[in-house]
């Protein structure tokens, strides 16, 4: 595939790997957090870790939209479908996120909820047009990448008077989440999580630009390298981070120059601020309440805000006690540190949100990397024999 294969070239990868190994000082370790789930997925799927020297460690960050969605938010969507009879439309990954009462959207669908998987907010609008007698709610999740399309849908719905369409807005913001991690006691005071730098988001940065990261680099003295989602992008970004650390620099650098500019997509930003405003606080799974970290629909578009329209009240719900998603999302623990990883919690039966999406740290490690650790299911052969007639 042209313009794609170039960024997955194995020979080049080995060359960059050799450079990283040559430039990383053997007497120190380097820990970098890739904020985005897209990077986590690329690292796991292409086997990037195998090409890194042992003293360069990657910490998987919280940038997976479904992973940070708290149980209470999914509960709201399920209630809309089951109790209020609305057609709830959402992106595929959201369907399997565990909610209260052992439910998820996909299980609520099996119980009779009209829940539909869509590829875009525009698809949800089409469903609303085709079902004028039904309430249609778009369960909108995601970072700055998916926010502009939702904003556009709300604005268009207002213009065309699509009265049965509304949005349950759960859009969250990247920079505030990174600040929250850097402010967390583990990182700031205890020093238990050494983060030497960040791989900055790819698609998010196309929208918001590279400027919003200047603050971390300056304030927290952490280098940030914005990188594309292809494996070579990631490798190159790691090399750039190693160099910054070696030179004791903490700058925002842009590896993803083919798409990211300092100011970002101004049109999209204008659209987003026309439709949305900051929430004073929003609960993230794993991170808890994070101030000014999410968006809500402005008063002008209140008619399209499912929270106002259905008078929804958010109730926080605690995660499963054994689940370590919170610590994993903050980079404090690794998936394998969790007692229920791969035993109780698997991609088929996710307990925690990190196991749901292929961008989640746990699912990525389980799906692509678990051969590196221990037997997860030691006795499948005997299971088969027992099942045989």
Partner 1 sequence: MRTDIEQPASGEAPAPRPVKKNYIRPLDIKHGRIDMSHGAGGKAAAQLIEELFLAAFDNPFLRQGDDGAVLALPAFDPAQGRLVMATDGHVISPLFFPGGDIGCLSVHGTVNDVAMCGAKPLYLSASFIIEEGFPLIDLQRIVKSMAAASREAGVPVVTGDTKVVEQGKGDGVFISTTGVGVLPPGVQISGRNARPGDVVLLSGSIGDHGVAVLSKRESLAFETTIESDTAALHTLVAAMLAAAPGAVRVLRDPTRGGLATTLNEVARQSGVGMLLQEAAIPVKPQVDAACELLGLDPLYVANEGKLIAVVAPEFADAVLAAMRAHPLGCDAARIGEVTADPHHFVQMATRFGGRRVVDWLSGEQLPRIC
* Continuous H helices in the chain: 10-23, 37-45, 71-82, 105-110, 121-130, 147-160, 174-183, 185-188, 203-208, 214-220, 231-246, 266-275, 306-309, 325-329, 361-364, 380-387
Rounded least distance, CB 322 to partner 1, Å: 21
Nearer to partner 1, 190 or 376 (CB): 376
Enter the tokens of residue 343. Answer: 């035993």
Whether residue 232 contacts residue 7, with contact meaning beta carbons closer than 8 Å, is answered with yes
Based on the shown chain and the rule CB under 8 A, indicate whether residue 54 belongs to the binding site for partner 1: no
- Which residues are bridge partners to 57 per DSSP? 31
Based on the shown chain and the rule CB under 8 A, indicate whether residue 48 belongs to the binding site for partner 1: yes
Which of the ranges 48-56, 258-266, 291-299, 303-311 carries the binding residues for partner 1, by CB under 8 A? 48-56
Which of the ranges 70-78, 266-274, 281-289, 379-387 carries the binding residues for partner 1, by CB under 8 A? 379-387
Query: For the chain, how big is the Rg over CA atoms in Å?
Result: 21
By CB under 8 A, name the one of 85, 112, 262, 375 that touches partner 1. Answer: 375
The dihedrals phi and psi of 175, each to the nearest 5 degrees, come to -60, -40
Based on the shown chain and the rule CB under 8 A, indicate whether residue 347 belongs to the binding site for partner 1: yes
The Cα angle at residue 95 between residues 94 and 96, in degrees rounded to 5? 95
Which of the ranges 6-14, 68-76, 176-184, 259-267 carries the binding residues for partner 1, by CB under 8 A? 6-14
Rounded least distance, CB 232 to partner 1, Å: 8
What x-and-dash track marks residues 152-171 binding partner 1 by CB under 8 A? Answer: --------------------
**Cα→Cα distances 33→79, 150, 330, 341, Å:** 36, 28, 10, 21
- What strands lie across the sheet with 252-254, from one edge to the other? 56-63, 30-36, 197-200, 224-226, 252-254
Based on the shown chain and the rule CB under 8 A, indicate whether residue 387 belongs to the binding site for partner 1: no
By CB under 8 A, name the one of 72, 123, 278, 288 that touches partner 1. Answer: 123
Based on the shown chain and the rule CB under 8 A, indicate whether residue 312 belongs to the binding site for partner 1: no
Query: Would you give the end-to-end CA distance of the chain in angstroms?
Result: 47
Nearer to partner 1, 38 or 223 (CB): 38
Based on the shown chain and the rule CB under 8 A, indicate whether residue 65 belongs to the binding site for partner 1: no
By CB under 8 A, name the one of 46, 138, 139, 213 that touches partner 1. Answer: 46
Closest CA to 138 of 353, 356, 305: 305
By CB under 8 A, name the one of 133, 161, 189, 371 that touches partner 1. Answer: 371
Closest CA to 207 of 120, 167, 147, 257: 147
What is the footprint of partner 1 within residues 75-104 (CB under 8 A)? 96
Binding site for partner 1 (CB under 8 A): 1, 4, 8-10, 13-14, 17, 44-51, 96, 118-119, 123, 231, 347-348, 366-371, 375-378, 380-381, 384
């Amino acid at each position: 595939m042209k313009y794609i294969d170039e960024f997955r070239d194995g020979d080049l990868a080995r060359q960059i790997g050799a450079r990283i190994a040559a430039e990383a000082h053997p007497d120190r370790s380097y820990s970098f957090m890739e904020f985005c789930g897209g990077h986590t997925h690329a690292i796991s799927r292409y086997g990037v870790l195998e090409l890194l020297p042992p003293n360069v460690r990657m910490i998987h960050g919280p940038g997976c939209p479904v992973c940070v969605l708290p149980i209470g938010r999914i509960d709201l969507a399920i209630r809309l479908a089951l109790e209020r009879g609305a057609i709830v439309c959402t992106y595929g990954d959201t369907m399997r996120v565990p909610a209260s009462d052992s439910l998820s959207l996909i299980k609520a669908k099996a119980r009779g909820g009209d829940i539909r998987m869509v590829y875009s907010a525009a698809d949800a609008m089409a469903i609303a047009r085709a079902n004028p007698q039904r309430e249609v709610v778009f369960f909108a999740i995601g970072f700055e990448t998916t926010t502009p399309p939702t904003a556009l849908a709300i604005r268009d719905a207002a213009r065309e008077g699509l009265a049965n369409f509304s949005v349950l807005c759960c859009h969250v913001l990247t920079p505030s989440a990174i600040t929250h991690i850097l402010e967390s006691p583990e990182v700031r005071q205890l020093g238990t999580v050494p983060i030497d730098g960040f791989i900055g988001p790819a698609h998010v940065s196309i929208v918001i630009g590279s400027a919003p990261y200047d603050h971390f680099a300056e304030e927290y003295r952490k280098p940030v390298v914005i990188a594309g989602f292809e494996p070579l992008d990631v490798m190159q970004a790691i090399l750039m981070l190693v160099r910054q650390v070696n030179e004791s620099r903490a700058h925002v650098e842009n590896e993803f120059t083919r798409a990211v500019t300092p100011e970002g997509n101004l049109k999209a930003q204008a659209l987003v601020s026309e439709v949305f405003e900051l929430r004073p606080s929003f609960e993230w799974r794993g991170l808890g309440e994070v101030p000014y970290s999410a968006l809500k629909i402005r008063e002008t578009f209140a008619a399209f805000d499912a929270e106002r329209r259905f008078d929804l009240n958010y109730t926080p719900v605690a995660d499963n006690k054994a689940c370590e998603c919170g610590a994993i999302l903050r980079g404090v623990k690794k998936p394998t540190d969790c007692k229920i990883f791969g035993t109780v919690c698997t991609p088929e039966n996710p307990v925690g949100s990190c196991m749901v999406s292929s961008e989640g740290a746990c699912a990525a490690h389980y799906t692509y990397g678990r051969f590196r650790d221990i037997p997860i299911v030691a006795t499948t052969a005997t299971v088969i024999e027992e099942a045989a007639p």
